């Protein structure tokens, strides 16, 4: 099974994308903006990684992105805005806007539903390949 996260745009502090599973677009994603791969505040570099089923004390059943250079403990979990990411990847059912501290911020909605859907889709797969590319940058990883 192959998962491909296609980053489609950046909005201030957030990187928005689409998660495709075996070539089919299934969910939307939100990550932190690129900040030189800094722990807890940056999305991870484009590349090919292993995605492994993981049980987190905070998020319960989720997925861990393994073998990220100079980083660890990167999860795929539920959340709505860049305030929830801490360097991780969030999944949602659709893109949305949120009013936070008097500002409108890009986000994703129905994240818990999306996480449950992802767990169902990957229920027989303890480990999968995760390829991350940026459509807006023209990047391609094989």
Domain layout of the chain by residue ranges: 2-134
Cα(57)–Cα(114) distance, integer angstroms: 19
Contact 141, 15 (CB under 8 A): no
Q: Tokens representing 128? A: 């999968």
Contact 5, 100 (CB under 8 A): no
Cα(65)–Cα(82) distance, integer angstroms: 18
- Tell whether the model's pLDDT for residue 121 goes beyond 80: yes
Report CA-CA distances (Å) from 133 to 12, 30, 80.
19, 14, 21
- Tell whether the model's pLDDT for residue 138 goes beyond 90: no
pLDDT tens per residue, range 77-117: 999 999 999 999 999 999 999 988 888 889 999 999 999 99
Span 42-62, average pLDDT? 96
pLDDT tens per residue, range 12-32: 889 999 999 999 999 999 999
- Tell whether the model's pLDDT for residue 140 goes beyond 50: no
pTM: 0.93
Residue 117: enclosing H or E segment and its boundaries?
A: helix 111-121
- Which residues have CB under 8 Å from 94's CB, separation 6+? 28, 108, 109, 110
């Amino acid at each position: 099974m192959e998962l491909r996260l296609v980053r489609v745009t950046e909005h201030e502090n957030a990187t928005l994308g689409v998660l495709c599973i075996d070539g089919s677009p299934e969910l939307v994603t939100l990550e932190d903006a690129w900040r030189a791969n800094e722990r807890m505040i940056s999305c991870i570099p484009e590349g090919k990684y292993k995605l492994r089923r993981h049980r987190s004390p905070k998020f319960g059943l989720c997925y861990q992105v393994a073998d990220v250079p100079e980083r660890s403990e990167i999860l795929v979990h539920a959340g709505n805005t860049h305030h929830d990411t801490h360097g991780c990847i969030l999944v949602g059912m659709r893109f949305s806007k949120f009013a936070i501290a008097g500002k409108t911020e890009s986000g994703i909605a129905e994240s818990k539903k999306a996480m449950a859907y992802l767990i169902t889709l990957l229920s027989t797969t303890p480990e999968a390949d995760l390829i991350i590319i940026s459509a807006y940058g023209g990047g391609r990883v094989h």
